[in-house]
Amino acid sequence: MAFNFILVIAITLIVAFFLSKFMFKGQTKNLPKGSLGYPLIGETFSFLRAQKQDRGPEWLEERTSKHGPVFKTSLMGSPTVVAVGQAGNKFVLGTEEDVLSAKKPVALVAIAGKQNIFELTGSRYRLVKGAMVSFLKPESLQNYIKQMDELTKIMLLRETENKDTIKAVVTMKKLTFNIASSILFGIKDEHTREVLFDDFSLAFKAGWSVPINFPGTVYWRGLRARSRIVSRILPILKERREEILQGKLSPTSNVFSCLLALRDENEQPISDDLILDNYVTLMIASHDTSATLMSLMIWKLSTDSEIYKKVLDEQMDILRKREEGAEDRLTWAEIQKMKYTWRVAQELMRIIPPVFGSFRKALKDTEYGGYDIPKGWQVYCVSHGTHMNKEIFEKPTEFDPSRFENPSKPIPPYAYIPFGGGLHTCIGNEFARVEVLTTIHNLVTMFEWSQVFPDEIITRQPMPYPSMGLPIKIRPRKL
């Protein structure tokens, strides 16, 4: 069995090697310098290994020092041009979608689905984006604050009950998953959420893997997890559709009901497949990135007493100024007062961006920096190229939240990109801000904590997390 598996892998690599030779035979295009690496695999393993060791910037710098700020490689199963710097960010994120599409790598598309919002273009993209934005814009978020605050309190109390130590990363992942499931999609059943959480954990890892669909691989496990997610959500869609027809559910109740009520340009409902693909996509996008930032906030507050004191003072001041007799729930106005806490989050996202970079796909032959980019190739920009640039951010290696308060010079466009940029700027950035601030408010006002391992480092898996899961000793705060 093992020999047969190795033989299949070997044959696949050999075939891929000769196919790549055939595809580029006689090609006269002026491609950037660099290496496409091994057949099929490319440089994916070395890239992911560097990320896991928190050496992503070094991996990048090794290639830019050798080939310049524009170089070619092969990542996640596709030949890729990497463009580093502000101009590169603007090219990748700001070019019109008929030239560079937000289409994702092969593995991520297989997990998210072919009709996810990043794969859509034109009227279908605008239709689905409009439905999602209607639930993620500030006017709508104001209606979710109390529900999000209550859910956060309940989960934190439950996760810490009869415990003096918890793993903060797992707790934050559960919290963000339950907030998205409950508030955005109206999935209230706890057992359903628990099962979906386990499968989404597998699916997300597979989205950043080499797309080899053999039993036992991360990709194979992720595809099976996606199938189970679809099987569990389809009956929920059927039930919601019937409730809308019977007038029991408003089309504006949650994202599911809104998508079910959508009609295309021909007044036809959109397919279940499209709804499922965008459910998976939105859950992945809203779950892990927010959990990353929350975990990094807890990690930073654990290691920097000065930052912690300022955040604590700001959050306790909100409680002190709450009117006597007022409901013990956060309000939209109170969220807006958390300016310093959010600046800490902004600085964390500058130094340790949750997403290392952004992919686009060339829909036609194009060029950048004097080099040709063939149709079908990926292009990739990275946050590190500008976030740690001393010409843009003074003393970039220093942690200084005040740089986002009154910067001595404005931050130029496409230089700070934790939420992407251009046409496909993250539509959930405001939802993430409210979610993070609500969580940190409850953590610092309800609990005190300390790290079990003070020297715990950050690694990318592929998101940046404390390497040991951030175990913390936690106890209720004495007010």
Binding residues: 426
Taking the C-alpha atoms of residue 433 and residue 275, their distance in angstroms, rounded to an integer, is 25
- Beta carbons within 8 Å of 214's beta carbon, 6+ residues apart: 5, 8, 9, 220
The token pair that represents 399 in the structure block: 């942690």
CA separation for the pair 93, 381 (Å, rounded): 8
Q: What DSSP assignment string belongs to 253-289?
A: SSHHHHHHH-B-TTSPBPPHHHHHHHHHHHHHHHHHH
CB 100 within 8 Å of CB 379: yes
List the one residue out of 97, 72, 7 whose CA is nearest residue 378: 72
Assigned token pair, 186? 């109206």
Per the CB < 8 A criterion, the answer to whether 472 and 452 are in contact is yes
Distance CA(395)–CA(161), nearest Å, equals 43
For 244, the 3-state DSSP assignment is helix
Instruction: Tell me the β-bridge partners of 382.
Output: 357
Cα separation, 150 vs 330, in Å, equals 9
Phi-psi region of 113 (alpha: psi -120 to 50; beta: other; left: phi over 0): left
The residue to which tokens 């499968």 are assigned = 199
Q: Which segments of 195-325 are extended strands (E)?
A: none
Tokens representing 291 are 């959990």
SS3 content of the chain, % helix, strand, coil (to 5): 55, 10, 35
Q: Residue with structure tokens 């496990």? A: 221
Q: Where are the alpha helices (DSSP H) in 372-448?
A: 384-387, 429-446
| Cβ atoms of 436 and 293 closer than 8 Å | yes
Q: Give CA–CA dist 368/380, Å, rounded.
A: 12
Give the residue ranges of the annotated binding site for heme.
Answer: 426
Phi-psi region of 469 (alpha: psi -120 to 50; beta: other; left: phi over 0): left
Element of type H or E holding 64: helix 56-67
Dihedral angle computed from the Cα positions of residues 138, 382, 465 and 149, in that order, rounded to the nearest 10 degrees? 0
Helix axis angle, 190-207 to 218-245, nearest 10°:
140
